[in-house]
Amino acid sequence: MKKKNPNLFSFGKVYCSIFGHKLRVSKNVTDHIHEYQCAKCGMEMTDTANGFLARLTPKFKETNEYLAKIHRRRKGKSLAQAS
Ligand SMILES: [Zn+2]
């Protein structure tokens, strides 16, 4: 029952499994939380609130959008106070 389909594995995924993901920051959520995307296979990761790196699930995306909103608001406020 072994069927080998070469299209099943993209080169990027093979590369990543050998050399690891090549993560690039794709979005700054806050000063400490960033979203990353692998340049090789396109996998998305994110920093979490407790300092871990996790797969960017729709749930995390939602959380990040919320955090970014608060972050922008806070930043705007402190800038207004500083001037
Ligand atoms: Zn990758």
One pLDDT digit (tens) per residue for the chain, 83 residues: 555 555 555 677 888 999 999 999 999 999 999 999 999 999 999 999 888 999 999 999 999 999 999 999 987 766 555 44
Helix boundaries (H) for the chain: 11-19, 58-82
Structure-derived torsion over alpha carbons of residues 60, 61, 65, 71, reported in degrees to the nearest 10? 50
Kindly give the distance from the C-alpha atom of residue 60 to the centroid of ligand 1, in angstroms, as a whole number. Answer: 19
Kindly give the distance from the C-alpha atom of residue 10 to the centroid of ligand 1, in angstroms, as a whole number. Answer: 10
Kindly give the distance from the C-alpha atom of residue 36 to the centroid of ligand 1, in angstroms, as a whole number. Answer: 11
Domain definitions of the chain by residue range: 23-82
Predicted pLDDT of residue 49? 83
The closest alpha carbon to 48, from 19, 23, 59, 21, belongs to 59
